[in-house]
A and B are shown apart, each in its own frame.
Chain A
Amino acid sequence: MEELYIMIYILVFIIGSIAGLLLSYKKHMEPYIISEIDVLTLVLSIIGWFLLFNHGLNPNISPEILLTIAFFFIGLALGRRPGYGRKETAIGILIAAVVWISTSGVLF
């Protein structure tokens, strides 16, 4: 069954990436020149990476569902036009990692 879930995660990530690319082309017709952080992409990235690192925090929801949502949102943020979505992804990973480190007991 694990392989089936892996296939679903990859498919969802690809669908998210394609959606992210299309959204990005709609929003930015120009090549990468705008260096401000896009709030929507940032929110999607934080939600995605938070769920990926910390899907074990909520035992009431199946981890497979949380991971599926996580990969979709990560794809949406990471799949933007070249240049866009990098800073948002880095911030998302950073926040998710900080929460994971502080809640998993790795340091204590």
Chain B
Amino acid sequence: MNLMAQILINVVIAFLAGSLLLGFHRKVMARVQLRPGPPIIQYLLHSLKFFFKETSFPKTAAMPFYVGITVILAAVWVTAVIVGPVAQGSLMIIFGVYAIHKIVEHNAGSSSGSPYGKISCVRAVFSAAGELPLFAVIAIIFLLTGTMDISGIIAYQAVHGPLVLQLPLAALMFFTLIVTKSPYSPFAITKGKEIITGFETEHFGMLRGYIMFSESIAWYILLWIFLTVFFGPISVVGYLIGMIVICIITGFINATTPMLNPNHSVMAQISIAVICTVGSIIMIII
């Protein structure tokens, strides 16, 4: 198939599947809290709705950065789709994508001029600690497999079995990252309820549409990478079941856990990263 067509199809799949999974995640949280919850397609309908709503700009916004940052966010996650499902390239680029995502969170918050955005902007710097587990996971996987390419890791698992059995603590670290990125997460300090929706608060209409589009793709890509890197070559049905199971688990965690304050959130993530990194290295040596 033509490369451009392949990219386009994978981006559409990532957006639609990511939206449905986020809708399902919200449904799980609602059921845990004994509420009926919205339909599963609600997140997708919201995303599409924002593309047709009027876009207004705050007087305090730093133009054109305020507009450009949302486009950069979308471009960053489209890049992740190309590096991940399309090209099965290097995990280091995925790490770079996640790092830029943090920078975009920071700048989206500061460019609006809103106090909520600014607090979220500062917290985005704090929450960069969430990248530590990701970097540690990549390093540990490289130590064991000798490659950072997703295709190479899949080939390794085809011979030696799923990495989740060999590096369970690294898988736990990556899962922590997924929990961090999930909506209403105890670690989601950049979008804490006390700061409305954090860096997104002052982005309206189409700009919010771009952000929601990016969040859908980000959720799909994180789940895809986790399943691909730790569960080996799996079928489409395997991906579907795996993604649904992860949404159920994170939904339960987020529905029953209060949001941590920024210091606790960062320290919890760093503690998990340190314990799991040391444990994984010991397991590789033994």
Contacts and interface: CB of A to CB of B under 8 A. Distances in A.
Interface of A: 1-4, 6-7, 10-11, 13-14, 17-18, 21, 31-32, 78-83
Contact of A7 (B12, B20, B45): B12
Nearest to A20: B39
B10 interface: yes
Interface of A is mostly: helix
Interface residues of B, number: 18
A32 B12 CA distance: 33
B286 interface: no
B41 A7 contact: no
Interface of B: 1, 6, 9-10, 12-13, 16-17, 20, 36-41, 44-45, 236
Contacts of A82: 36-39
A14 B39 CA distance: 11
A12 to B, nearest CB: 11
- Name the residue among A7, A13, A79, A83 with the largest chain B CB count within 10 angstroms: A7
B16 A3 contact: no
B52 to A, nearest CB: 15
Contacts of B1: 1, 3-4
Given A1-B1, A7-B9, A17-B41, A83 B36 contact: yes
Nearest to A82: B36
Nearest to A4: B9
A6 B236 contact: yes
A25 to B, nearest CB: 10
B13 A10 contact: yes
B36 A14 contact: no
B40 A10 contact: no
A81 B39 contact: yes
The 4 closest A-B pairs by CB, nearest first: A82-B36, A17-B41, A10-B16, A3-B9
Contacts of B6: 3
A17 B41 CA distance: 7
A78 B40 contact: yes
A82 to B, nearest CB: 4
